[in-house]
Structure 1
Amino acid sequence: MTRDEPLTVADIARLAQARLPRELWDYVAGGSGAETTLAANRAALDEVAVLSRVLAGTTEPDSATRLLGSASSMPLAVAPMAYQRLLHPDGEFAAAEAAQAAGVPYVVSTLASVSVEEIAKTGATTWFQLYWLRSPGVVESLVARAEDAGCEALMVTVDVPVMGRRLRDARNSFVLPDDVVAAHLTDGAVGRAHDRVPGSSAIAAHTAAVFAPGLGWPDIEWLRDRTSLPLVLKGILDPRDAVRAAESGVDAVVVSNHGGRQLDGAAPSILALPAVAEALTGRAAVYLDSGISTGTDILRALASGADGVLVGRPVLYGLAADGARGVGRVLSLLTEEFRAAMTLAGCTDIAAVRALSTVRTVRAS
């Protein structure tokens, strides 16, 4: 980074926007439809007010925890995100290396532009995210590859029966450059992500060709029987689905609206979190995704019932701004902010954060 060292994720986002072509910035920052859920995620997080505790007698809070058995320096994992080589030549390598240095898990996407085997060589603690594909053989192969690569959990994304209508990408006729590919997928449909069609997204065309829209609970139960790895479902908003997940042997759920990129009009994740956490008490871990961009957001999430969070776009901003160093700066800022928030809220450790109470505020219009 050639400018003064950024002090917030928002600073890094501005650096990324200045460096990226408009269509790439739109791909990263955009949402679906009118982007109402994208905006609502941020607004809802800002309305969560924490009731801090006092006289806790702490000066050095302990942010370390375990996420599904994986050791983590803080209650955060890097969310699964596709095609990271779009943003920097080192792509997933750089992001995973930064996660390893920060001591947090890194979730490898099915649509990664570097293979899980290569990413594992960074030494990062890895989980593997699975999109359900039309070919059962490819699904089974990906599970086996993740296990053989040493991944410590499997995360199934369940809120993409079809890709949401992402209007920025359609207006930009967005395509992947020839040198960025889905490293885990090699069938003939892969080329669709590189074919420009005016007024449409090539990535949407590719996913429509390879994703299976009919994913159901029997598939989750099949996967539970197929692997001994901890199993996570990402994309849960309704407590009834959370309960069904626990009954199906799932170890954790991620309360998520896909960062506002799927159903426009879906509830902000932070609003859905308390009911899901209450429904799963003692039955499965609960993580939050969609909109986390500050250490205070992490505090808010844990005080609202989460065991940890997934962070997505901020990592991509760091990657675009300065590769592994940029991602490292994002993770360092979030760690610094979270530990400061813990101290100010009177929390010595993660258990104390989760015991905090919250109220909701309404911002003046």
Structure 2
Amino acid sequence: MPSPSDPLGRARQNVIYRAGISGITPKVPTEAGRLEAAARRALLRRPGGRRAWAYIYGGAGSGATMDANREAFDRRRIVPRMLRDTSGRDLSVELFGRRLPAPVLVAPIGAAGLITRDADLDVGAAAAERGLPYILSSQGSSPMEATAAAMDSASTTGSAPRWFQLYWSKDEALVDSFIGRAEAIDADALVVTLDTTLLGWRPWDLDLGSLPFTRGVGIAQYTSDPRFAELVAERVATDVEDEPVTVTPQAVRTMLEMARNHPGRLLDNLRAPETRAAVQTFLDTFSNPALSWDNLATLRERTRLPIVLKGVLHPDDARRAFDNGVDAVMVSNHGGRQVDGSIGTLDALVRIREAVGAEPTVLLDSGIRGGADVIKAMACGADAVTLGRPHLYGLAIAGRRGVGEVLDNLLAEIDLTLSLSGVNSWDEIDGSLLS
């Protein structure tokens, strides 16, 4: 982080403006709409880019929930205060005993390997360079151990903050295995995703007949897991009959991609029954529509990590979560990807904060696009936010450097907007800052 004499926002502006003297403009756009458009252009130029863009950008149904997320932010307006000394700004917050440079976490997004095979390594390293936590996805494209190692190598402190997102599988032993691995990589928290017990109706993917997991993209946490390997071996040994596949040129390309994404040598994977069995085993086990509060009640005995429930939108669910001893809830509608016509997250956050009071830790996911959004979320009662699609847009444009530039721009905009609103720290922010 820059020194007080070189504030974060001004330092970032200076980097860009100094380059502009030589006619060099940012490859990664600084405005949310242009960033999205640049990422779309970058992906559509690549083989398989239409499928990648559909999965990353698309929402559920008509996209009304994505619109609701943005509308909730746009409806609230900051009312800046003047003539306040803001020269001593402090963006840091404390979460689960760790001081973070800003109230920003990099959200988990499954199948980021659609953009680049090493997506999780690049995103994790870029976050670690800035001291921001990366929430490693269960649907990651690299094993969590490899991502943690890449983050520690990139961190200036040698121990990068990271959380792990758990999708509760139908196989309880696999759940325990994931939890144990998350503890072994020193995750700071376990984020249990509640809103994806089934995949939502996603026309962007459906119209292309595209689900990345069927090609082995986004299942690296599973294919690197000892318990999952047992499940695959059991499937192969019992000769489970899978759905027949119509043989077409595309089916052959899919099998080749599946083999490339499976651990081991390509030729061996093409011959081995385990390659297709791994994909089928994942599809059979990864989601659990029977998940209930009874399952959650067992979690405290199964992990020493702080527990965050992700996907909470109703005040009654938030109250019940804290009554059951969880450490935080994350207000999220999965970026509008699960239920069409759902409530916007910022509106849900206000209701939940009113219901649970000031003390419990409440995080906001879905809809954050810029620094002003972060300030609005904090004013509405969030303790921190997660950034989702934008960091993948940066990855699509310029790889690891692109992720870093998106994060740098977000942090700079937070700093400048905080100062221009007459605020030095998050302790000074509440709903009175908003109209």
AA partner of residue 129 (structure 2): A
AA partner of residue 182 (structure 1): I
Partner deviation per Cα, 1:120-172 (whole Å, 9 max, x = no partner): 11213110000110000000000000001111100000111211000110101
AA partner of residue 292 (structure 1): I
Deviation at 1:207, TM superposition (A): 4.8
What is residue 51 of structure 1 aligned with on the other side?
A: 79
Calculate percent identity across the aligned residue pairs.
Answer: 37
Task: Check whether the contact 1:252–1:286 (CA below 8 A) recurs between aligned residues.
Answer: yes
Deviation at 1:39, TM superposition (A): 1.3
What is residue 353 of structure 1 aligned with on the other side?
A: 429
CA–CA distance in structure 2, aligned partners of residues 235 and 29 of structure 1: 19
Deviation at 1:275, TM superposition (A): 1.5
- Farther-moved stretch of structure 1 (219-228 vs 245-254): 219-228
- Normalised by the length of structure 2, the TM-score is 0.76
Instruction: Tell which structure's C-alpha radius of gyration is larger.
Output: 2
Residue 207 of structure 2 is aligned to residue 166 of structure 1: no
State which of 349, 353, 364 in structure 2 corresponds to 1:288.
364
Give the match's secondary structure for 2:385: strand
CA–CA distance in structure 1, aligned partners of residues 34 and 341 of structure 2: 28
Residue 274 of structure 2 is aligned to residue 274 of structure 1: no
Give the 3 Å change call, closer, same or farther, for CA 263–179 of structure 1 in structure 2.
closer
Task: Check whether the contact 1:131–1:156 (CA below 8 A) recurs between aligned residues.
Answer: yes
State which of 233, 246, 270 in structure 1 corresponds to 2:309.
233
What is residue 112 of structure 1 aligned with on the other side?
A: 140
Deviation at 1:326, TM superposition (A): 0.5
CA–CA distance in structure 2, aligned partners of residues 7 and 38 of structure 1: 21
Partner deviation per Cα, 1:2-22 (whole Å, 9 max, x = no partner): 983022233322221111122
Structure with greater helix share of residues: 2
Give the 3 Å change call, closer, same or farther, for CA 279–91 of structure 1 in structure 2.
same
CA–CA distance in structure 1, aligned partners of residues 113 and 32 of structure 2: 20
Deviation at 1:30, TM superposition (A): 0.6
What is residue 51 of structure 2 aligned with on the other side?
A: 23
Give the 3 Å change call, closer, same or farther, for CA 266–104 of structure 1 in structure 2.
same
Task: Check whether the contact 2:191–2:308 (CA below 8 A) recurs between aligned residues.
Answer: yes
Residue 42 of structure 2 is aligned to residue 4 of structure 1: no
Deviation at 1:235, TM superposition (A): 0.5
Deviation at 1:353, TM superposition (A): 2.6
What is residue 378 of structure 2 aligned with on the other side?
A: 302
Structure 1 residues 196-345: aligned runs within 5 Å: 207=283, 209-345=285-421
| Structure 2 unmatched runs, 5+ | 1-22, 44-48, 153-159, 236-241, 249-257, 259-278
- Farther-moved stretch of structure 1 (329-338 vs 345-354): 345-354
AA partner of residue 41 (structure 2): A
AA partner of residue 34 (structure 2): D
Give the 3 Å change call, closer, same or farther, for CA 118–42 of structure 1 in structure 2.
same
Task: Check whether the contact 2:349–2:382 (CA below 8 A) recurs between aligned residues.
Answer: yes
Task: Check whether the contact 2:167–2:286 (CA below 8 A) recurs between aligned residues.
Answer: no
AA partner of residue 19 (structure 1): A
Task: Check whether the contact 1:50–1:300 (CA below 8 A) recurs between aligned residues.
Answer: yes
Residue 179 of structure 2 is aligned to residue 154 of structure 1: no
Root-mean-square deviation (Å):
2.5
Task: Check whether the contact 1:60–1:343 (CA below 8 A) recurs between aligned residues.
Answer: no
Task: Check whether the contact 2:110–2:218 (CA below 8 A) recurs between aligned residues.
Answer: no
Give the match's secondary structure for 2:348: helix
- Normalised by the length of structure 1, the TM-score is 0.90
Task: Check whether the contact 1:127–1:154 (CA below 8 A) recurs between aligned residues.
Answer: yes
What is residue 184 of structure 1 aligned with on the other side?
A: 221
CA–CA distance in structure 2, aligned partners of residues 74 and 41 of structure 1: 22
Task: Check whether the contact 1:37–1:260 (CA below 8 A) recurs between aligned residues.
Answer: yes
CA–CA distance in structure 1, aligned partners of residues 24 and 145 of structure 2: 35
Aligned residues: 351
